[in-house]
Amino acid sequence: MTTDLTLWGRKNSANVQKAVWALAEVGKEYEHIAVGGAFKGLDTPEYRALNPNGLVPTLQDGDLIVWESQAILRYIAAEYGAEKLWRATPRERAIVDQWADWGAITFQPAWLGIFINVVRTPKSKQNPDAIAAVVKKSNDAMALLDAQLAGREFVAGDFSYADIAIGVALYRWYTMEFNRPILPNVDAWYDRLQSRPTFKSSIMVSYDDLYVR
Ligand SMILES: N[C@@H](CCC(=O)N[C@@H](CS)C(=O)NCC(=O)O)C(=O)O
């Protein structure tokens, strides 16, 4: 395989999965280097030179190095996705960006709250009040998303990188152990995403090794 693209990061990280899914959507080959979590490798001087945060993901494309998963998404969309992942006009892009950033800034901390309190906390140490608080926050965000998806196939109309920024959470949302509200439009969107091989291969991957039991 000859490619200028390299992606660093463990593939069971939601932020890395955004890049994995986007690269699959645009059909770009890349070299993958597993770092972070059990793979370690984030504290080496070599990795810190690429990404001073010591976090994943990091993308290199020739002499360009990008970190922050949302910036990576936008780069892939702009460089390789054309209008498949983003849009032609600033007005249309603004709406895609709005939902993508909502996914990262509002929704991601909310569902990660469930992930941390349920998946990353052993049952014996789980705090029902803390779980109820993060579930409420997530459910409120999901209700807003359900309303947006009414009458739309995807978050911003046609498929875009906003579906990736938000949809990266869906497999975990539907498989973590907590009381999910009924959200018909989100359910239908999840069904549509599952018919994309890119979603199955990038997002519907086991996170069993992240469970703390
Ligand atoms: N805002 C950053 C957050 C990156 C981040 O927190 N990455 C986590 C994984 S999701 C990480 O590197 N954790 C350390 C590790 O995996 O060892 C982004 O969106 O890229």
Find out whether the beta carbon of 60 lies less than 6 Å from any atom of ligand 1. no
Q: What's the average model confidence in pLDDT over 60-85?
A: 96
- Say whether pLDDT at 2 is over 80: no
Cα 169 to Cα 83, 92, 109, 125, 131: the distances in Å are: 23, 24, 11, 24, 17
CATH no. of 90-202: 1.20.1050.10
Structure tokens at 196: 């994309």
Distance, CA of 209 to CA of 213 (rounded, Å):
10
- Say whether pLDDT at 200 is over 60: yes
Homologous superfamily assigned to 5-84: Glutaredoxin (3.40.30.10)
Spacing, Cα 22 to ligand 1 middle (Å)? 17
- Say whether pLDDT at 64 is over 70: yes
Q: Does residue 54 come out as left (phi exceeding 0), alpha (psi in the -120 to 50 range) or beta?
A: left
Spacing, Cα 66 to ligand 1 middle (Å)? 13
Q: What's the average model confidence in pLDDT over 97-114?
A: 97
Residue whose C-alpha is closest to residue 106's, from 67, 69, 137, 146: 137
- Domain layout of the chain by residue ranges: 5-84, 90-202
Spacing, Cα 163 to ligand 1 middle (Å)? 19
Spacing, Cα 40 to ligand 1 middle (Å)? 12
- Is 13 within 8 Å of 186 (Cβ atoms)? no
Model confidence band, residue 82 (pLDDT cutoffs 50, 70, 90): confident
Find out whether the beta carbon of 17 lies less than 6 Å from any atom of ligand 1. no
Instruction: Identify the helix (H) or strand (E) that includes residue 73.
Output: helix 69-76
Q: What is the pLDDT of residues 161-179, one digit of tens each?
A: 999 999 999 999 999 999 9
Percent of all residues in the chain with a pLDDT value above 90, rounded to a whole number: 97
- Say whether pLDDT at 3 is over 80: no
Closest residue by CA, ligand 1 atom 12: 55
- Is 10 within 8 Å of 16 (Cβ atoms)? yes
